[in-house]
Chain A
Amino acid sequence: QQQVKQSPQSLIVQKGGIPIINCAYENTAFDYFPWYQQFPGKGPALLIAIRPDVSEKKEGRFTISFNKSAKQFSLHIMDSQPGDSATYFCAAREGNSWGKLQFGSGTQVVVTP
């Protein structure tokens, strides 16, 4: 059973649009929420991460919004570019654990020119 539910499965936006990817969880012991970006045939790379004591975090054109009471978090890609076309995974990790990540199922984002 997947502990982190991610939606949508895929998404197509035009250049300049704002793709939004949503993730939800039930385990209140999760205290670290990273997002990974993966290009075809490559390993995932850490994009941005947030802790639950922060409601929003921005790094460049990528923004995470976090709603602790709803147990939901989302990734927004501002001013999206064709080079942002990739698969994005959300993940979560329990605090004080050895570090095991629970991954969402991934969202394939396509940004058209």
Chain B
Amino acid sequence: DGGITQSPKYLFRKEGQNVTLSCEQNLNHDAMYWYRQDPGQGLRLIYYSQIVNDFQKGDIAEGYSVSREKKESFPLTVTSAQKNPTAFYLCASSIRPQGRETQYFGPGTRLLVL
């Protein structure tokens, strides 16, 4: 089965703690993306990566970090600098970063603050 997997489904963060959200795809897609979803605000882009070992900031990158060491993996770390991390986080991928390529989304991780 080809697709995007995200884990965990739910994640709890304590004050001052960094947490890492996993995103893996077996679609052989070059481009990968992280979005944050808040009620009534649609999806906002956090980071994107067009190719391995390269990534760029999106609209709301502050307090987040990513890495892209492998084509199939694009983990997102929510750092302690992100003061309002409670949200639904979505990972997506597309065959190529340019043009009208469809973005396929994973099932999401819900992050909650204790």
Residue ranges of A at the interface with B (Cβ–Cβ < 8 Å)? 2, 6, 9, 32, 34, 36, 41-46, 49, 51, 89, 93, 96-101, 103-106
Task: Say yes or no for B14: interface residue by CB 8 A criterion.
Answer: no
Within the complex, the shortest CB–CB distance from B46 to chain A, in Å, comes to 12
Report B26-43 residues with CB < 8 Å from chain A CB.
Answer: 31, 40-43
B99 partner, pick from A34, A99, A104, beta carbons under 8 A? A99
Establish whether residues A99 and B98, one from each chain, have CB atoms under 8 Å apart when the complex forms. yes
Query: Within the assembled complex, what's the spacing in Å between the Cα atoms of A36 and B90?
Result: 13
Residues of chain B with a CB closer than 8 A to A104's CB = 42
Establish whether residues A43 and B102, one from each chain, have CB atoms under 8 Å apart when the complex forms. no
Report B41-81 residues with CB < 8 Å from chain A CB.
Answer: 41-45, 48, 50, 58
Establish whether residues A99 and B45, one from each chain, have CB atoms under 8 Å apart when the complex forms. no
Establish whether residues A42 and B107, one from each chain, have CB atoms under 8 Å apart when the complex forms. yes
Per-residue CB contact flags for chain B residues 72-104 toward chain A (1 = under 8 Å, else 0) read 000000000000000000101010111111111
Interface majority SS on A: helix, strand, loop or mixed? loop
Within the complex, the shortest CB–CB distance from A48 to chain B, in Å, comes to 11
Establish whether residues B43 and A46, one from each chain, have CB atoms under 8 Å apart when the complex forms. no
Given contacts A9-B40, A103-B42, A105-B40, contact A93 B106 (CB under 8 A): no
CB-nearest residue of chain B relative to A89? B42
Establish whether residues A44 and B101, one from each chain, have CB atoms under 8 Å apart when the complex forms. no
Query: Within the assembled complex, what's the spacing in Å between the Cα atoms of A64 and B45?
Result: 25
Establish whether residues B40 and A43, one from each chain, have CB atoms under 8 Å apart when the complex forms. no
Within the complex, the shortest CB–CB distance from B78 to chain A, in Å, comes to 18
Within the complex, the shortest CB–CB distance from A66 to chain B, in Å, comes to 15
**Which has the most chain B C-beta neighbours within 10 Å: A49, A89, A100?**
A100
Residues of chain B with a CB closer than 8 A to A98's CB = 31, 48, 50, 97-98
B108 partner, pick from A9, A34, A42, A89, beta carbons under 8 A? A42
A100 partner, pick from B6, B58, B107, beta carbons under 8 A? B58
Given contacts A6-B42, A89-B42, A106-B40, contact A101 B107 (CB under 8 A): no
Establish whether residues A43 and B105, one from each chain, have CB atoms under 8 Å apart when the complex forms. yes
Residues of chain B with a CB closer than 8 A to A96's CB = 98
